[in-house]
Amino acid sequence: MTDNFVIAPSILSSDFLDLGDVLRTCKSAGADWIHVDVMDGHFVPNLTMGPFIVRHCRRGTDLPLDVHLMMENPERLLEAFAEAGASRLTVHVETCPHLHRTLEDIRALGCEAGVTLNPATPAASIFQALPFADLVLVMSVDPGFSGGTYIPEMVGKVAEIRKEMNRIGSPAWLEVDGGISPETLPEMEAAGATAFVAATAIFKHPDGIAAGIASLREAG
C-alpha cells in the first residue's frame, strides 16, 4: 500500500488480449491488489471468469488477488479458487445461508475471507459475521457489469458498517465496488472505506491505466 487506502483495479474492463501487460502496468502504476470479478450467469446476469483466469493472474503478478465471487453456491469452488492462487475470496451474503461456516472454510484454505452485500441488502445482514471477516465489501452498484450506475445512498451504508466495525474493534478492510471515480472516492473514504475497486475509472481512462490509478490516488 502506497497510501492510507488500497486501490484494486477490476480487470473486468481490461484488455484480455494483453492481460500480462495489464497486470504489470497496474503494479508499476501503484495498484495494491488486483480485483477479479467472478460472475456465474445466475446470481448475476453476466458470465465471466473462473479459477482458470485466477491461475493466469497468479502467474502474471505478485499483487494480492482480491476475488469477488458473484455466484450461487460459492462453497463448491472455494478450494479451486484457493488452489488457483486467490489471496482473498469474497462471498455474497445473499448466496450463503451458512455464512460463518463459509467464511471459516475460506480461512481454512489459507485465504482471507471477505463478505459482501448488494445495494438492497441491509447493513445489519453482515454484522453477526464481522468477527469472521477479513474484508467487508459494500456494493455501490447492482453487480453484474462494469460501468454501472453509482448509488450514492451507499455512502450511508459504509458509514453504518464502519460504526459497527469500530464498535467491535474489527480490523477488517472496508472495501467499496461500483462507480468509484475521483468524484465518488472522497465521500466513500470520509465514510470509512479503506479499499477501492475500480474498473471504468482505470481501464477506460482516456490517458491510460497509470493515469486512471493516479487520478484515484490523488482524489483520496
Catalytic annotation, residues: 37, 177
Distance CA 166, CA 10 (A): 28
H helix runs in 150-198, sequence order: 154-168, 185-191
Residue closer to ligand DX5, measured from CB, 122 or 147: 147
The C-alpha cell that represents 189 in the structure block? 473514504
Residues 78-137 that bind ligand DX5 (CB under 6 A): none
| Contact status: 177 vs ligand DX5 (CB under 6 A) | yes
Choosing among ligand DX5, Zn ion, none, which partner's interface includes residue 146 (Cβ < 5 to 8 Å by kind)? ligand DX5
Grid-cell match 501503484, residue found:
30
| Residue 75 contacts residue 89 (beta carbons within 8 Å) | no
Residue closer to Zn ion, measured from CB, 148 or 192: 148
Binder to ligand DX5 among 114, 143, 192, 212 (CB under 6 A)? 143
Residue showing the smallest CB distance to Zn ion in the complex: 68
Choosing among Zn ion, ligand DX5, none, which partner's interface includes residue 102 (Cβ < 5 to 8 Å by kind)? none
Binder to Zn ion among 177, 194, 203, 214 (CB under 5 A)? 177
The stretch near ligand DX5 (CB under 6 A) out of 5-13, 23-31, 79-87, 151-159 is: 5-13
| Contact status: 10 vs ligand DX5 (CB under 6 A) | yes
The SS3 call for residue 34 is strand
Grid-cell match 465471466, residue found:
48
The C-alpha cell that represents 79 in the structure block? 478450494
For residue 92, give the nearest of 110, 111, 118 by alpha carbon.
118
Distance CA 96, CA 103 (A): 10
Shortest distance, CB of residue 108 to ligand DX5, whole angstroms? 25
The stretch near ligand DX5 (CB under 6 A) out of 48-56, 59-67, 123-131, 146-154 is: 146-154
| Contact status: 12 vs ligand DX5 (CB under 6 A) | yes
Grid-cell match 486501490, residue found:
7
The C-alpha cell that represents 216 in the structure block? 484515484
For residue 49, give the nearest of 23, 26, 77 by alpha carbon.
77
Residues 111-130 that bind Zn ion (CB under 5 A): none
| Contact status: 37 vs Zn ion (CB under 5 A) | yes
Residues 186-215 that bind Zn ion (CB under 5 A): none
Choosing among Zn ion, ligand DX5, none, which partner's interface includes residue 96 (Cβ < 5 to 8 Å by kind)? none
Distance CA 82, CA 55 (A): 10
Residues that bind Zn ion (CB under 5 A): 37, 68, 177
